[in-house]
Amino acid sequence: MTWLRDVLVDLAGDSPQVDLAERTIMIRDRRRRTAISLVAAAMVVVTALGVTVAARLLPPGPDDAASVSDLPAKGVGPLSHAVRTYCRPASGRAPEDCRDGEWRLVTRDGRTYRVPDALPGLVPGRTGLRDSPLAISRDGGKIAYYGAEEETFVVRDLASGRRTTAPAKVPKEWLYSRTRLMLSDDGRYVTFMKNPQFKDPGLIFDLRAGAVRELPNGWVPAGLSPDGGTLTLSQYAPRSMLRTIPRLWTTSGGGTSVTLPQDYEFSPLAPDGRSIAAVERYFARDFPCPRLGNLVVLDARTGVKLRSVIVQGLDAGVTSLSLRTWLGPEEVTALAESVPCDLEAYHEGPDEEAEQLDQPYRTLTAYAVNVETGRARKLTTYTAQDFFEIVLPGAV
């Protein structure tokens, strides 16, 4: 096989050097200009028909559609979670009074608030790429988000109303691809990253000291030591990796990373500060839909597998898990969804310039999973458009 591969590699070496980006953009723009006039004429008819059909056929919408009001200046109780809304789901209906790209905070006693000073995310496929993140502290009492006016991250204590602004502005243009925000338990540190990375850096802010430090991008923040000195990062794609950056504020080094021999979906750093849970994911190479494997516990510094258990007690048909908040030293929250992987839609999905629809709202079930035994117990359900549009306290 090596012989034939060598010949083919040799042949492929004759392929032309090209740079097709600019030409592709130019062709797309030219076609779009031609299409716009045709679309405008058709729009009137389609809109009228669409309203009629939608009213008749669409299933019930999300249960988070309770009345929503602006976040009061202070006196708000701890949060249960936050959900981001996009308002043109491909099926079903959007929440009442939906606003595109807006985070809705849901308190433990069921009140729902919007954050009017947070920059909304832009709608994928309709108006741009901006992904404006939000994080909730482990106790549910503080949030971090990108302040539209401040043009940087803001931490807000929900009970006292105290707002603290990060000491450096972050260009709005840096909010793209999948952004991640992590807020330390005490609200002092905010870590910002994104994946896939393109070129600008990740950042960590110390809001008390007024300091900022650049970080390697393309990672997911997994945990920060209580003194703010050691950062743990995970990376799920294209290779699963773990990284530890010690002495964050006294050195500029990138720390040490370990590449793992397996694809994983990681939890945040465990309460012991040393280990991290993960669900094994088996990919046929280059395909977006993994098959789930065991739940493992890894040493976050070395990647060494400490435990591996089969998850038991999930509803039948669960297709993917997202590990979130640790509930104790042995229990981690797992959000589960049961959406069959639609390769057809992924590979030959609708042309977004023609369709421009958002993900349908779906039910995500939260389980507490014991990392020692693999036993899962059901906690609650949420309604969101996908894992990326829901945030739980103490987890990215």
Q: Which of 272, 291, 342, 346 binds another protein (CB under 8 A)?
A: 346
Which residues touch 253 (CB under 8 Å, ≥6 apart)? Answer: 245, 247
260 and 239 Cβ atoms separated by less than 8 Å? yes
Q: In degrees, to the nearest 5, what angle opens at C-alpha 35 toward C-alphas 47 and 40? A: 30
Residue that has been written with the tokens 């993140």 in this structure = 133
Q: Which of 64, 102, 131, 280 binds another protein (CB under 8 A)?
A: 131
Enumerate residues 279-318 that contact another protein by CB under 8 A. 284-288
Shortest distance, position 214 Cβ to another protein, whole Å:
17
Shortest distance, position 239 Cβ to another protein, whole Å:
11
CA distance 81 to 102: 14
Interface with another protein includes 27 (CB under 8 A)? yes
CA distance 316 to 100: 33
CA distance 324 to 353: 34
CA distance 188 to 204: 10
CA distance 51 to 45: 10
DSSP letter for 301, please.
T
Shortest distance, position 20 Cβ to another protein, whole Å:
6
Interface with another protein includes 15 (CB under 8 A)? yes
CA distance 296 to 169: 39
Task: Rank residues 56 and 285 by Cβ distance to another protein and give the closer one.
Answer: 285
Task: Rank residues 129 and 304 by Cβ distance to another protein and give the closer one.
Answer: 129
Residue span binding another protein (CB under 8 A) among the ranges 55-63, 80-88, 305-313, 346-354: 346-354
DSSP letters along 61-106, please? --TT-S-EEEPPSS----EEEEEEE-S-BSSS-PPTT--TTEEEEE
Interface with another protein includes 139 (CB under 8 A)? no
Residue span binding another protein (CB under 8 A) among the ranges 45-53, 122-130, 151-159, 308-316: 122-130
Indicate the SS3 state at residue 266. strand
Q: Which of 58, 148, 211, 237 binds another protein (CB under 8 A)?
A: 237
Residue that has been written with the tokens 């789901």 in this structure = 89
CA distance 59 to 339: 17
> What are the backbone angles phi and psi of residue 174, rounded to the nearest 5°?
-85, -5
Interface with another protein includes 38 (CB under 8 A)? no
Task: Rank residues 330 and 353 by Cβ distance to another protein and give the closer one.
Answer: 353
Binding mask 143-182 for another protein (x = CB under 8 A): ------------------------------xx-xxx----
Shortest distance, position 215 Cβ to another protein, whole Å:
18
Task: Rank residues 127 and 380 by Cβ distance to another protein and give the closer one.
Answer: 127
Binding site for another protein (CB under 8 A): 1, 3-5, 7-25, 27-28, 124-125, 128-129, 131, 173-174, 176-178, 196, 198-200, 236-238, 284-288, 343, 346-347, 349, 351-353, 388
